[in-house]
Amino acid sequence: PTHEAIDPVRFIGNRSSGKMGFAMASAAADAGADVVLVAGPVHLTTPRGVTRINVETAQQMHDAVMNDVAASDIFIACAAVADYQLETVADNKIKKTKNEKLQLDLIPTQDIVSAVASLPHKPFVVGFAAETEEVTSYAQDKLKLKGLDMIAANQVGENMGFAVDENALHVFWQDGSKRLPLAAKTQLARDLMTIIIERYDAKNST
């Protein structure tokens, strides 16, 4: 996840644990890749053989990715990056006032996966989509609109998606798809990494 500050003590965040991203980094390293993991504010152990860059905000994650991605063959956008940030962050803690509403003015964060997919010499770009409804439709639209090579989509719900150890994915690419059934995120990451390598090899053999 990323945390977008409201004031020095509060932030906007989401329910992501970061477990899937760390599982993907571990699976990629086990497959023989040199892995750079740009990690948001989570308390997870860095996988063996992985270079970790810690960030907090969407802007910091964008900058870290763009500084490093030119040397990458594959970019996996697994992080649950905040879609919005505060237009102005308060310098001091905002005090609670009785019976008064608090209005926060939000602006969109930079779309990291779109930025990478728009590069003239882009890597193989894998996106993720966590949705509560119409998962297939939203994922296929995102694949096309953002110019991705592949997208892994999941339904967010009870015992699936965020803050749990298991998940299921529906993986799409330009001319195909594959379902990965409910499994531990560590196993799911290995299965997804196998598909990514297969599709990467297929793209680069033509």
pLDDT in tens, 6-43: 999 999 999 899 999 999 999 999 999 999 999 999 99
pLDDT in tens, 58-82: 999 999 999 999 999 999 999 999 9
Nearest-10 crossing angle of helices 185-204, 19-30: 50
Rounded to an integer, the average pLDDT of 96-114 is 92
Residue 199 domain-assigned? yes
Nearest to 187 by CA among 8, 23, 30: 23
Rounded to an integer, the average pLDDT of 75-92 is 97
pLDDT at 83: 95
Residue 99 domain-assigned? no
> If residue 5 lies in a helix (H) or strand (E), which one and from where to where?
strand 4-5
Residue 88 domain-assigned? no
Residue 48 domain-assigned? yes
Please tell me the total count of domains within the chain. Answer: 1
Between the CA of residue 1 and those of 21, 95, 97, 163, 201, what are the distances in Å? 10, 26, 30, 11, 30
Residue 48's CATH number: 3.40.50.10300
Residue 162 domain-assigned? yes
Rounded to an integer, the average pLDDT of 176-189 is 95
Catalytic residues: 14
Domain span including residue 62: 4-81+105-204
Residue 92 domain-assigned? no
Burial class (CB in 10 A: 0-12, 13-18, 19+), 23: buried
Residue 94 domain-assigned? no
pLDDT at 156: 77
pLDDT at 65: 98
pLDDT in tens, 123-176: 999 999 988 788 889 999 999 999 999 999 987 765 555 668 889 999 999 999
Residue 98 domain-assigned? no
